[in-house]
Amino acid sequence: MGLKREVGWSVGDWTPPPAPEALVLEGTFARLERLNGAAHAADLHAANQVDGRIWDYLGYGPFATEFAYRLWADGMAGQTDPYFYALVDRATGKAGGVASYLRVTPAAGSIEVGHINLAPVLQGSRIATEAMFLMMSWVFAVGYRRYEWKCDALNLPSRRAAERFGFTYEGVFRQHMVYKGRNRDTAWFAVIDADWPALRSAYQRWLAPDNFDANGQQRSRLSDVIHPLLSARDPVF
């Protein structure tokens, strides 16, 4: 008698979610608008001049002029995958970063966040954290099962950010791609729908007004709120 072969559980009652569409994601500190060269290129190009290293792990950039950046932004703005947002500081009205949904696969319930490029002024800020929360919230609200984060395995800031935001590390794809004439081994991270209720509560606790003092400094770090959740998960392998 042969061994019983295990198969995955039925998802027959699950409906594939919609692809991203023209919508604004609005928070307390951040506003995510569909990337538009005319509206955002000047702010983004200026913000990106502070530290050229933000382009090291992206397949494009840096851009020497605002015009060159606007040409790139206009090209990205017309695409649906990747689907680009500009990250706008609601207090100033200025854009300081971009991020996108990509590798959108409704049939599998899978979607990725990527092309994240934050000017130094946004890195580690409430604006950046809330922007990531808003993007993740939309993904699971409309029915996706899996939300991915991938980066060059050598990109330690991106790997730390993924873990801070609650993504689980799943391994490295060796020699996954070539960009800018260099090899890239890709580190994979993901959040799945079963993770989301606890993560949503953690984000909401961190973003609450009483977690910040009068100068806007955090009282508790997001990683301190999320780490117990990650530790309690079953191992990936």
Which H/E stretch holds residue 45? helix 37-48
Residue 61 confidence (pLDDT) = 94
- What's the pTM value of the predicted model, to 2 decimals? 0.92
- Calculated CA dihedral for residues 88, 34, 114, 160, nearest 10 degrees: 20
Alpha carbon 154 to its chain centroid, in Å, reads 18
Q: What is the pLDDT of residue 223?
A: 85
pLDDT of residue 93: 96
Distance CA 199, CA 165 (A): 9
pLDDT along the chain (237 residues), means of 10: 80 91 92 97 94 92 96 95 97 96 97 96 91 98 98 96 94 97 98 95 93 88 81 56
Residues 6+ apart with CB under 8 A from 220: 205, 206, 211
Structure tokens at 94: 């200025």
- CA–CA separation, 135 vs 205, rounded Å? 17
In sequence order, the β-bridge partners of residue 31 are 26, 88
**pLDDT value of position 8:** 86
